[in-house]
Amino acid sequence: MAMMKTAYFYGGEDIRVVEEEIPSPGADEVLFKVMSAGVCGSDLHNYRGHRTREDVPWQQGHELSGVIAGLGEGVTGLEIGQRVGIEAEHLLGCGVCRLCKDGQYHICLERGVRHGAKQSSHGFSQYDVCVAENVTVLPDDVSFDAAALVDCYSCGVHAMNRVPDVSGQNVAIIGAGAIALTLGQVLKARGASKVILIGTREQPVEVAVASGAADVGVVIASGSDPVEAVLAATGGEGAVVTFETVGGQSQLIQQAVEMTRRGGAVSVIGLFTKPQTIDPVLAMEREVTIGWSNSFSSWKGESEFATSLGLLASGRLNPDPIVTHHFSLDEIGVAFATADDKRESGAIRVMVRPNN
């Protein structure tokens, strides 16, 4: 019986790598060898003890890419050995509800459920299976790491699709993590004239500017007032769209409104875990639209995953500087510690390579 290594998460820092049987693909499923899997901010919620789960232990790793190793019954158009990008399985829709029929499967009430069971991707594993519809063959010049970042790029594409056209416009991004940097690159690829990116520390903001994710970097630690900095960079007007990517316990939606131009929009991508206080008078005066952006799915009939992959293949995105660290599956504890302590490690996106 062929065996593999996979990581189980027990909550907090308790992560155990065990040996188990390689899964076999069911009907319409694909077995793949995982080549790269990113450690996402959402993976860190449990690691930091912010959220507790009932399904202990669980497996995770939803930003992933690999090589096809087996095909289930009824799978056509794919071959063993192909390099593939994988769309995260927790975003699967039921396929039959109104939202799914509209292509908005990412907000389906039954999101992540298939064959009557909750599905998730297991990138922190040597092999994983997923439904064939979530598999996309990679162009030769898209690396496994870049393909694992398509999940992040797609969140940026989705946020961009939900706001007024950014081409030729000044936009602001609050945050300097992987979502902020991938978003900035997507906005530049779509023709944004100036991207102003705001981070707390110097190093990731420098990477943002050097990697083409931002034209202007604002570092709060060195005394810059983010609102003043955005106004200064936009001739006093403010950003046409401000994207908030931090979330958590902070109060950043109000700040986003303050740096947004009259008639502009705020797009909230960060997941806030605290109620937000917003000055309704200011938002009313400026008639700022505040909207939310959750993951990604499709837009006007086109898969946002495919849009991101197309941008990558065209060479208009620059994924390499965003991936700062690599670890093997046996080092997954170190990988999570590195991703968790960005201040110390300088991590932006940490990749686990389960078959190295």
Residues that bind Zn ion (CB under 5 A): 40, 93-94, 97, 100, 108
Q: In angstroms, what is the minimal distance from the CB of 126 to Zn ion? A: 20
Residue (40 or 229) nearer to Zn ion, CB: 40
Q: What's the rounded Cα separation, in Å, for the pair 111 and 114?
A: 9
Residue (100 or 283) nearer to Zn ion, CB: 100
Q: In angstroms, what is the minimal distance from the CB of 340 to Zn ion? A: 15
Cβ-Cβ contacts under 8 Å for 196 (sequence gap 6 or more): 170, 171, 172, 173, 214, 215, 216, 218, 229, 230, 233, 234, 239
Q: In angstroms, what is the minimal distance from the CB of 216 to Zn ion? A: 26
Residue (94 or 337) nearer to Zn ion, CB: 94
Q: In angstroms, what is the minimal distance from the CB of 199 to Zn ion? A: 19
- Exposure string of 192-217, with b = 16+ CB inside 10 Å and e = fewer, is bebbbbbbbeebbbbbbeebbbbbbb
Residue (93 or 199) nearer to Zn ion, CB: 93
Owner of token pair 């087996």: 70
Q: In angstroms, what is the minimal distance from the CB of 88 to Zn ion? A: 7
CB burial of residue 221 (10 Å; 0-12, 13-18, 19+): exposed
Q: In angstroms, what is the minimal distance from the CB of 247 to Zn ion? A: 13
Provide the pairing of β-strand 117-118 with 113-114. Answer: antiparallel
Q: What's the rounded Cα separation, in Å, for the pair 151 and 307?
A: 11
Alpha carbon 25 to its chain centroid, in Å, reads 26
Helices marked H in 58-195 — which ranges?
98-101, 144-148, 150-161, 178-189
Q: In angstroms, what is the minimal distance from the CB of 104 to Zn ion? A: 8
Identify each DSSP E strand in 206-253 by its residue range: 216-219, 239-244
Residue (66 or 93) nearer to Zn ion, CB: 93
Residue (112 or 212) nearer to Zn ion, CB: 112
Structure tokens belonging to residue 162? 């939900």
Alpha carbon 213 to its chain centroid, in Å, reads 15
Residue (97 or 209) nearer to Zn ion, CB: 97
Could you give the 3-state DSSP secondary structure of residue 211?
coil
